[in-house]
Amino acid sequence: MFKLTGALCLIFGFALLASEPAMVEPKFTAGNELVRPTGYHEWIFLGSSLGMGYQRSGGSNDEPTFHNVYTQPEAYRAYLKTGKFPDKTIMILELMTAGANASINKQGHFEDRLIGIEASVKDVNRFPEKWAYFNFIGNDRKPLVQSKAFAKQTCWSCHDEHAAVDNVFEQFYPVLREAKQKQ
Ligand code: HEC
């Protein structure tokens, strides 16, 4: 009887494990271009910033933009446990214009139009610097299907030098700061 219950538990346990959705992994084309990740609005929202001033194309402080950052739930949970981002972590940075004077809004800003989608990917076997950086909005402002990694000095260097944890700007994301305190 015990044996049977034990076996059933095992089978049930495996079934549960099998039904856990696996972490969404970055997809690459044969030419090493990253396919634009989708569905990230269902991932973990790490935080938002408004009009941050570091030199980068596409933003001036006269027209501040919101930056929204997302990562896979599994990457977040691994960070919570270990303080490290696992291999195949994807970070998405969405840039939104700051709207004003619409509907009942009389002061302050709301997120209006999507003007940028950028991504970073940690893939230790694919990239010598572990992380690589991508842009997914073309010159015509339409989303790109796939994109090739930027040169090291365009994105990686600043992240490597200034980001608090493993190339990620943890210092600006309340959700990760909170996770760090629990570690
Ligand atoms: C001069 C410094 C600098 C450069 C260069 C830079 N970034 Fe960042 N990046 C930041 C900062 C600061 C943040 C966090 C704050 C924010 O923007 O909301 C950030 C955040 C990000 C994030 C969110 C995840 C993370 O790592 O914190 C992505 C994705 C990203 N940048 C992509 C890019 C891409 C793609 C490029 C190159 C086209 C680039 N960055 C170049 C400073 C930089």
pLDDT per position as a tens digit, 62-81: 689 999 999 999 999 999 99
Percent of the chain with pLDDT over 90: 73
Mean pLDDT check: name the lowest of 38-42, 54-58, 67-71, 101-105: 54-58
Of the candidates 142, 26, 153, 39, the one whose C-alpha atom is nearest the C-alpha of residue 90 is 26
Q: What's the chain's average pLDDT?
A: 89
Question: 142, 91 in Cβ contact below 8 A?
Answer: no
- Pocket of ligand 1 contains residue 154 by CB under 6 Å: yes
Confidence of residue 117 (pLDDT cuts 50, 70, 90): very high
Confidence of residue 139 (pLDDT cuts 50, 70, 90): confident
Question: 120, 132 in Cβ contact below 8 A?
Answer: yes
Question: 15, 7 in Cβ contact below 8 A?
Answer: no
Question: 69, 48 in Cβ contact below 8 A?
Answer: yes
Q: How far is the CA of 134 from the centre of ligand 1 (A)?
A: 10
Q: What pLDDT, in 10s, does the model give residues 161-180?
A: 999 999 999 999 999 999 87
CA distance 68 to 49: 7
CA distance 159 to 168: 7
Q: What is the dihedral of CA 154, 156, 159, 160, to 10 degrees?
A: -130
Q: What is the dihedral of CA 150, 155, 160, 164, to 10 degrees?
A: -130
CA distance 28 to 121: 11
pLDDT at 6 over 60: no
pLDDT at 107 over 80: yes
Of the candidates 50, 56, 33, 54, the one whose C-alpha atom is nearest the C-alpha of residue 132 is 33
CA distance 13 to 23: 19
Q: How far is the CA of 93 from the centre of ligand 1 (A)?
A: 8
Residue type, 105: N
- Pocket of ligand 1 contains residue 75 by CB under 6 Å: no
Instruction: Quickly count: other Cβ atoms within 10 Å of residue 142's Cβ.
Output: 9
Identify the pLDDT of residue 180.
79
21: left (phi over 0), alpha (psi -120 to 50) or beta: beta
Q: How far is the CA of 112 from the centre of ligand 1 (A)?
A: 21
Instruction: Quickly count: other Cβ atoms within 10 Å of residue 99's Cβ.
Output: 15
pLDDT at 111 over 80: yes
Q: Which atom of ligand 1 is nearest to the CA of 57?
A: 38
Q: How far is the CA of 97 from the centre of ligand 1 (A)?
A: 17
